[in-house]
Each structure stands twice: as structure tokens, then as C-alpha cells.
Amino acid sequence: MSTPLKDAVRDLPLPAIGEPVIEVRNLTKRYGRNLVLQHLDFDVRRGEIVTLVGGSGSGKTTLVRNILGLEKPTSGAIRLFGEDLTQIAPADIRLIRTRTGMLFQHGALFSSLSVFDNVAQPVRELGKVPADLLRDIVMLKLEMVGLPCKHASKMPAALSGGMIKRVGLARAIVLEPEMLFLDEPTAGLDPRSSDEVVDLISTLHRALGLTVVLVTHDLDAMVALSTRVAVLAERRVLVAAPVEEVAGVNHPFIREYFLGTRGRRALQALPPERRAKLPGAALAPAFGTTGGSAR
Ligand SMILES: Nc1ncnc2c1ncn2[C@@H]1O[C@H](COP(=O)(O)OP(=O)(O)OP(=O)(O)O)[C@@H](O)[C@H]1O
Ligand SMILES: [Mg+2]
């Protein structure tokens, strides 16, 4: 689906890669006796789209929640936009968080609120905004995610899965953040809606010069969007690099994930100059494809 915004940014260069905006050092997080993350280091620079992959329960959502200051690390240091979250007051953490937007993995929308009220909610939380200004802010964001204004009064139950993700994205960008965290933005969508959401993330990244941290099990979305892929396994980030480099790392999880049939199939969507850097094992034909489509 083409949107006015997509057309407008088509020829824009990708956002330049800038200074580090997330710096995680020696992070350990445990829940009771469950040690989830241990001695973990992770960096993201301004303008990147970093995809976080790892098995179910490996701690991806936990890492994101710690970076956002929604949970306290057991030990270690986290800097967000250069501010050490472990050293500053909760009120200041909330203020820093307003520079970020988040699409949560589950329960993306409040079911009892209309589309408009869902998107307006982060603005209302900040304080009183005149009704006509709020309307303009919300309608602009709905427009940006390709949702015609006529949907604003609908309730979430009346929306398709793809539309729900769009509303979630509109809410995530409503405060005009510098950084977006997207936890499984394509989960549960059919291939076409998934492609549309991937396209939309790419468009927003260019249009707003965003930094994006993406958590996903969707290999096609990972290949299409990532400037780097970070692999979470053994309670730490094993490697964080362009996907063609990660695919060559000799580790059981990485071999299975990137060089299995689904991984190899997804990697075929890389442009030729990046495919040329893949390890030989990634180039073996993926069963069931004719070589072109990633799905
Ligand atoms: N609030 C919490 N209290 C106790 N344990 C938790 C909490 N949140 C997460 N965990 C545990 O931490 C581990 C990592 O969970 P997390 O949700 O971060 O994994 P994930 O990589 O996001 O998984 P998925 O791919 O299934 O979303 C799991 O063992 C989970 O049970
Ligand atoms: Mg998760």
C-alpha cells in the first residue's frame, strides 16, 4: 500500500548513523532465582534499526524494559541518550522516556478506548492540551501510519490485526519520539499485512530520522529492516552486526536460526552486494522456493 508519506520519503537518504543513544554495560537481571540476563553489553547508535533476535524466553522483552527504565537492573549500567538510568530520579527517567515510543508485544491497545483516545493517551498523560490541537496531533499521526481519519472513532474490536498495529504505531510516535521500540510488530499478521507494517516502519524511520529497536521472530522483517542484528542467547548479546556477518558466526543457535531453511530463504531477500558476504552455507538452496520471494 502506498501512502503520501511513503511517496514523500522514497528518495530521502537513510538517517545518518550518529552517536550512541543506548549503552548497556555488564547488565545482569534476575527474577528471584531465574537469572535472565548476565554480563550483557549492548549498544545502539542514533539512526540505526537494530533487530533483537533470540529464542522465546531468552530475555528480549526484559532487555527492552530495562533500557526504558520500566524495570531496574539487578546490576550493571544503562545509558539512554547519554543519561545513566541507574543514577537518576524516577521523574527524570519518565521525562527521558517521553523521547521514546513503544509498541508493546501484548495488549497493544486499550480495548475500551476508541482509536482516537488510544492514540491521544500519551499526550493526555503529559497534561492538558486544547481539544483542537489534540485533534490535529492525533489525526496527523493516523495519517502518517496510513489510517484514514474515518477510523478514529472505531473501537479496537472492530479493527483488523494490521490496523491494530498501525494504531499502536500511531500511538508510539504521537509524542514525536527520537527512538522507537517495537516488540513483535508483525506477530500474528498475514504476509501481506506484515509487509505493509515493515514498509511503514521503514517509512517512519526515514521520515522522522528515528532510531529503532525491533524485537522480532519474523525473519523477513529482520532482513528487510535491520542495519544490525543483535543475537540474544546464553543471557547475553552474542553478536551485534549486519545480518550477513551474523549469519557466519559459528554458534549452534545462530547456525540453526540463520542457516536453517527459513533463515536461508529470508536471507535471499538481501541485495546482491550483501548476499555476496554471506557464508557458503547460507547460499544453499532453501527448500520450497524458486529463489526470488522471501515468503
Ligand atoms: N515480570 C517478570 N517476573 C518474573 N519473571 C519474568 C518477568 N518478566 C519476564 N520474566 C521471565 O524472564 C524470562 C525472559 O522473558 P522475556 O519475556 O524477556 O523473554 P522474550 O525473549 O521476550 O520471549 P518471547 O520471545 O516469548 O517474547 C522468562 O523466563 C520469563 O518468565
Ligand atoms: Mg518478548
Q: Answer whether 14's CB lies under 8 Å from 206's CB.
A: yes
Q: Report the pLDDT averaged over residues 28-45.
A: 98
69 domain residue, yes or no: no
Residue bearing the CA closest to ligand 1, atom 4: 31
Q: Look at the block and give the residue holding cell 534499526.
A: 49
Q: Does residue 252 belong to any structural domain of this protein? A: yes
Distance 87 CA to ligand 2 centre (A): 26
pLDDT of residue 105: 78
Whether 147 is in a domain gets the answer yes
Domain presence at residue 17? no
Ligand that comes closest to the CA of residue 235: 1
Grid cell locating 50: 537494530
Rounded distance from Cα 60 to ligand 2 centre (Å): 5
Ligand 2 center to 217 CA (angstroms): 10
Q: Which ligand is nearest to the CA of 36?
A: 1
Q: Would residue 41 count as lying in a domain?
A: no
Looking at ligand 1, which residue's alpha carbon is closest to its atom 2?
31
pLDDT digits (tens, 9 = 90+) for 54-82: 999 999 999 999 999 999 999 999 999 99
% the chain with pLDDT above 70:
95
Q: Hey, whose CA ends up nearest to atom 7 of ligand 1?
A: 31
Q: How many residues does the chain have?
A: 295
Ligand 1 atom index nearest CA of 105 = 27
List ligand 1's pocket residues with C-beta within 6 A. Answer: 31, 34, 36, 54, 56-62, 105
For ligand 1, what atom is nearest to the CA of residue 184? 27
Indicate which atom in ligand 1 lies nearest the CA of residue 54.
21
Pairing relationship of beta strands 75-80 and 20-31 according to DSSP bridges: antiparallel
d(CA 264, CA 30): 34
- Cα 180 from chain centre: 6
Question: What is the CATH classification number for the domain harbouring 197?
Answer: 3.40.50.300
CA of 206 to the centre of ligand 2 (A): 26
Does residue 12 form part of some domain? no
Question: How many angstroms is it from 215 CA to the middle of ligand 1?
Answer: 13
287 band by pLDDT with thresholds 50, 70 and 90: low
Q: What's the structural domain count of the chain? A: 1
In one-letter notation, the amino acid at residue 97 is R
pLDDT tens-digit profile of 163-179? Answer: 999 999 999 999 999 99
In a domain, 79, yes or no: no
Q: Looking at 67-81, 102-116, 256-270, which range is the least confident one?
A: 102-116
CA of 155 to the centre of ligand 2 (A): 26
274, containing H or E segment: helix 272-275
Distance between CA 263 and CA 19 in Å, rounded? 31
Give dist(CA 231, CA 14) in Å, integer.
24
Q: Supply the residue whose CA is at minimum distance from atom 8 of ligand 1.
A: 62
Burial class (CB in 10 A: 0-12, 13-18, 19+), 225: buried
Give the pLDDT confidence score for residue 127 in this predicted structure.
86
Q: Is pLDDT at 106 greater than 90 in this prediction?
A: no
| Residues less than 5 Å from ion ligand 2, measured at CB | 61, 105
Q: Which residue has a Cα nearest atom 3 of ligand 1?
A: 31
Is 198 buried (19+), middle (13-18) or exposed (0-12) by CB count in 10 A? buried
Q: Ligand 2 center to residue 64 CA distance, Å? A: 9
Domain of residue 171 covers 46-64+98-279
Q: Whose CA is nearest to atom 17 of ligand 1?
A: 61
The tens digit of pLDDT for each residue in 189-215 reads 999 999 999 999 999 999 999 999 999
Does some domain include residue 227? yes
Could you tell me the distance, in angstroms and rounded to a whole number, from the CA of residue 135 to the centre of ligand 2?
Answer: 33
Reduce the DSSP state of residue 239 to 3 states and report it: strand
Q: Whose CA is nearest to atom 27 of ligand 1?
A: 56
